[in-house]
């Protein structure tokens, strides 16, 4: 493997051709031999090195070997990396030819929901222009059995929904965003759906962030100490406006119906505790006061538990309270 790699990087055109012919057989045997190597545990490395360091003619022969087998390889543990390397190594025309085998709706959905295929889709998003990604958006929006919401809570599907939010144009992703907004309450409490909503907050428009903050108000913040919701609150604190941050602080400081504010439960969880500290850092003096008042009567009980993270948070709120208003 190391010798082949070195020869492909440092060798002359004649040496590369001799190596290619020796490994793949040359002539009519090239297609058959290359196809056998592509899904192989060790052979796929060799094919990737030919794509990365081979001549244009050799790459063209390997693309010929891929023809008709792109989907099958994309769904394989070793074939998937071959497709990814091919996509980033060949010219634009060959790139489009490879991608075209994955454009039917059924192929898109199969790749999206597959642990290897989704990496191929991710590579496509990285390499081609947004206008050429419309086939993915169309497949997601028109799938009879897989909605945007169901793909967002899928272990692998969520990654491709995130790719749409990051790489597509506003016009392309708006229908996807609207379906996410329509299901936000179920998504924010899901392990994978939470990641998608975080991407929505980061890559959506200001009005999208406003809608998420409004959705987080009310009963949903009774679970503000849950990791998935905490992560979304943290994104809102990073990308939201001052008004949006204050609205979240108001919510976590309000009585959740148990006589205690959600803020108190957040302080008892390490990951949520860090979000509370970010709230403290970004709050104006009035909202720091509100946070202090919300936990003030509970501080003795928190300190009795002798957990450093709670001491750190209650102390930080108190310290910030003493400082001049920065908001």
* Separation of first and last alpha carbons in the chain: 60
**Separation of alpha carbons 179 and 184, rounded Å:** 9
What rounded mean pLDDT belongs to the chain? 88
- Tell me how crowded residue 37 is: count the other CB atoms within 10 A of its CB: 22
pLDDT in tens, 61-82: 999 999 999 999 999 999 999 9
Reference 168, options 143, 198, 138; nearest CA is 138
- What percent of the chain has a predicted confidence (pLDDT) above 70? 90
pLDDT over threshold 50, residue 327: no
Residue 258 DSSP code: S
Mean pLDDT of 274-296: 88
Share of the chain above pLDDT 90, in %: 58
Which is more confidently placed, 28 or 285? Answer: 285
Q: Please state the rounded mean pLDDT for residues 186-215.
A: 96
pLDDT, tens only, 126-183 = 999 999 999 999 999 998 889 999 999 999 999 999 999 999 999 999 999 999 999 9
Residue with the bigger pLDDT between 141 and 11: it is 141
Can you give the pLDDT at residue 113?
Answer: 98
Q: 270-273, long-range: CB within 8 Å, 24+ apart, which pairs?
A: 270/309, 271/227, 271/230, 271/231, 272/224, 272/225, 272/226, 272/227, 272/230, 273/309, 273/310, 273/312, 273/313
pLDDT of residue 261: 87
pLDDT tops 90 at residue 29: no
- Segments making up each domain of the chain, as ranges: 1-100, 102-203, 205-327
- In what helix (H) or strand (E) does residue 251 lie, and over which residues does it extend? helix 242-253
Residue whose C-alpha is closest to residue 200's, from 219, 179, 221, 217 = 179
- SS3 label, residue 232: helix
> For the whole model, what pTM was predicted?
0.85
Q: In Å, how far are 33, 108, 121, 123 from 67, measured between CA atoms?
A: 14, 17, 18, 18
Mean pLDDT in residue range 293-306: 72
């Amino acid at each position: 493997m190391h010798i082949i790699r070195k020869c492909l990087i440092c060798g002359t055109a004649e040496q590369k051709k001799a190596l290619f012919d020796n490994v793949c057989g040359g002539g009519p045997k090239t297609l058959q031999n290359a196809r056998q190597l592509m899904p192989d545990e060790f052979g796929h490395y060799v094919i990737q090195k030919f794509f990365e360091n081979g001549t244009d003619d050799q790459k063209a022969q390997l693309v010929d070997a891929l023809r008709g087998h792109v989907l099958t390889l994309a769904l394989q543990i070793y074939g998937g990396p071959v497709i990814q390397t091919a996509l980033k190594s060949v010219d634009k025309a060959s790139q489009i030819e490879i991608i075209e085998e994955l454009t039917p709706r059924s192929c898109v959905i199969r790749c999206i929901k597959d642990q290897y295929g989704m990496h191929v889709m991710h590579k496509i998003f990285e390499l081609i222009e947004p206008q050429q990604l419309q086939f993915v958006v169309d497949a997601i929006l028109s799938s009879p059995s897989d909605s945007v919401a169901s793909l967002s809570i899928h272990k692998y599907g969520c990654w491709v929904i995130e790719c749409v939010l990051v790489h597509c144009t506003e016009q392309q992703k708006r229908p996807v965003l609207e379906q996410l907004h329509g299901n936000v309450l179920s998504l924010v409490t899901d392990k994978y759906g939470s990641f998608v909503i975080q991407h929505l907050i980061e890559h959506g428009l200001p009005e999208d962030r406003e809608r998420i903050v409004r959705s987080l108000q009310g009963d949903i913040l009774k679970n503000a100490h849950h990791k998935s919701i905490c992560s979304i609150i943290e994104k809102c604190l990073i990308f939201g406006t001052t008004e949006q941050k204050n609205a979240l602080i108001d919510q976590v400081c309000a009585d959740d119906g148990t006589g205690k504010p959600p803020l108190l439960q957040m302080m008892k969880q390490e990951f949520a505790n860090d979000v509370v500290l970010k709230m403290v850092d970004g709050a104006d003096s009035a909202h720091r006061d509100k946070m202090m008042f919300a936990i003030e009567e509970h501080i003795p009980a928190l300190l009795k538990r002798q957990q450093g993270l709670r001491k750190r948070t209650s102390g930080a709120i108190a310290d910030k309270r003493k400082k001049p208003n920065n908001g």
